[in-house]
Amino acid sequence: MPYPSAPRLDLVDQLHGRPVADPYRWLEDADAPETVAWSAAQDTLARAHLDALRGRDRLAARLEALLATGAVGAPAWREGRPFWLRRAPGQEHAVLLTRDPDGTERVLLDPVALDPTGATTLDAWAPSKEGTRLAYQLSSGGDEESLLHVVNVATGERLDGPVDRCRYSPVAWQPGGEAFFYVRRLAPGDVPAGEEQYHRRVWRHVVGADPATDDLVWGEGLDPTNYYGCSVSRDGRWLVVTASAGTAPRDDVWLFDLESDGPPAEVQVGVDARCSAHVERDGRLWVTTDRDAPRGRLCVADPAAPQDWTTVLAEEPDAVLEDWVLLDDGVLAVLRSRHARSEVALHDGDRVTPVPLPGAGSAGGLTADPRGGTRTWLSWTTATTPGQVLVLDATTGDVDVWTGSPGSVELGEVVATPLEWTSYDGTTVRGQVLSPRGVPDRPRPTVLYGYGGFGVALTPAFTASALAWVEAGGVWVVANLRGGSEEGEAWHRAGMREAKQNVFDDFASCADALLEQGWTTPEQLGVYGGSNGGLLVGAALTQRPSAYAAVVCSAPLLDMVRYEQFGLGRTWNDEYGTSADPEELGWLLSYSPYHRVEPETAYPAVLFTVFDGDSRVDPLHARKLCAALQWATTSDAPVLLRAERDVGHGARSVSRTVGLSVDTLSFLARRTGLDL
């Protein structure tokens, strides 16, 4: 394939005495004329190839039908009023709804009504404690910059906003709805150049006031990469503030007595462990932590002595504590996951009552009425069940459907099978195989999907792309690699920093197991990952290029020597390491995909997908590795770069989702032999 010309620079950095070549550094500048021209030529090449692939129209129609099942989230309750998200068939984005006291269901926020182009997303929302006001955050074009607004719930009247620089900001309302605590970055002119994405602070804001007059609450003099959380107790007395340096798996936590002018008390500071806390309606401080318990435990303390914890729920040996809610009479509804499958139980003193759930799936969003009660709501899905919301009554133990999936679809015969294999160092790793039911012949075209980082767990979920692939006769595999949290924080740490190669070994050994068990062959095996998962498949293709027929690498990190200099990279150095440290540079160079490209190598077919609004992972990573592979490969398998405008790293509209999935799945199908 005639690729666009990409001159190789004779550029070699000397880092801690190591020569590190960077021949495509010029592609880091997206606005340079030569980069613009190269990118335009790549667009033309990619579209010509992708648009010519077979089965695209049928695939698009099936994806649209599967996505028409919609989506629904568990409700947040305020004084008997529920607030929840729902995406109905035909809607591009989920809308925020509420139910009035007379039972009328009403749309509060519809992103498409605000922006018919579909480029605006609802990032977050928080009703006041009385349910009379709503703070919400919007961003446009995928930038995730989150402009904060406040409206009157009853009338829809705009009361405040937009307040800018609120990316990743929680909102903690004080009683009465006149003020709240939130997180906002300092103005660009007040921070060093290049650090505009950092330097967050916790502020107190009075609704309708000029944000420039907000009271600074916390954050001055602390780590500039800190992310903050905050919550206010139902009675309004206690404010909890948490801080973590970037994505480091440790938290500092402080407790403020808002009836006192004194300094906050430390709940946990300077400890290498996760910790979250809030004061419940029983007046006690409840602490969820993996301190001395990698799978999690729940503790309580007196706010007057917030470091004196008493364990209420001890760590379980093979289940991870995910969430809990306090119900009447001290009963706890507790959500755990066991090998990435959700379990719910009711804890009443020493008595534990398992709650039957409808299958092997994923629960989340455990909520309850802050006023009290015996019911809790949770979202629920499986690999073949669209999302719904269940309600559990602790008095009877009954589980009912509070609201089903907004739409329905007739599924093909798809079966989910647990997968277990042994990684190269003897570690047992698990996952899930989706395959056509009742079709005995193997091997089959297979997609292996993974993530393996930042403590993110891959749990069963109704996924349109996976189901469309299996309905067409393929196999879809999700691997629960180290680096995730499927087996707790120790599992995460076994796949970060100097142990990152464990993640890639788990993935490669999964591919080996699929071959050994007869699911597929190297000529029929494709791999797929995005973001940190893009790094995963980038490492897979550069470490074992002959093992895979096709690779889809989406929004990836690939130049691990310079990743900290772009986007939010500086916040990830606790996960990966930093090239500023000689030893850690060695870790990074050992697997950095961009630096492992070898000339005269037959690389598999590769499709990079990037998004120009991505403010987390800069598309420069994909540009640089794309150019390097196009230069190095000796095979006739294509190496393509698909760039998408006005969308970012996170949420996207349904039509955008369909377009991306059609391109990626048809590419994988063409290279693995699946007839769509």
Residues serving a catalytic function are 531, 649
Contacts of 213 (CB under 8 A, 6+ apart): none
Residue in 387, 388, 370, 366 with CA at minimum distance from that of residue 378: 366
Other Cβ atoms within 10 Å of 194 Cβ, number: 9
**Side-chain-facing half-sphere of 313: CA atoms under 13 Å:** 32
Helix (H, G, I), strand (E, B) or coil at 5: coil
d(CA 632, CA 610): 21
d(CA 279, CA 285): 4
Which residues, in sequence order, are bridge partners of residue 381? Answer: 362
User: For residue 210, what are its two tokens?
Assistant: 């000029």
**What is the CA angle 165-168-173, rounded to 5?**
90
Helix (H, G, I), strand (E, B) or coil at 166: coil
User: For residue 2, what are its two tokens?
Assistant: 């005639």
Helix (H, G, I), strand (E, B) or coil at 129: coil
d(CA 418, CA 435): 11
Helix (H, G, I), strand (E, B) or coil at 609: strand
Please give the torsion angle defined by the CA atoms of residues 284, 389, 121 and 62, in that order, rounded to the nearest 10 degrees. 150
Peptide bond into 593 cis (omega under 30): no
User: For residue 336, what are its two tokens?
Assistant: 């755990």
Q: For 626, phi and psi rounded to 5 degrees?
A: -60, -50
Strand order in the sheet with 399-403: 362-368, 375-382, 385-393, 399-403
Contact 285, 277 (CB under 8 A): yes
Contacts of 532 (CB under 8 A, 6+ apart): 451, 452, 453, 454, 456, 483, 557
d(CA 423, CA 482): 10
Instruction: Say which DSSP state 595 is in.
Output: G
d(CA 526, CA 69): 27
**What is the CA angle 277-82-227, rounded to 5?**
35
Number of H helices, E strands in the chain: 11, 39
d(CA 159, CA 170): 18
User: For residue 436, what are its two tokens?
Assistant: 């056509």
Contact 92, 655 (CB under 8 A): yes
User: For residue 624, what are its two tokens?
Assistant: 């640089």
Sign of the CA dihedral running 461, 465, 471, 474: negative
d(CA 459, CA 566): 30
In single-letter form, the type of residue at position 641 comes to: L
**Side-chain-facing half-sphere of 219: CA atoms under 13 Å:** 28
Contact 279, 259 (CB under 8 A): no
Q: For 25, phi and psi rounded to 5 degrees?
A: -60, -30
d(CA 291, CA 150): 37
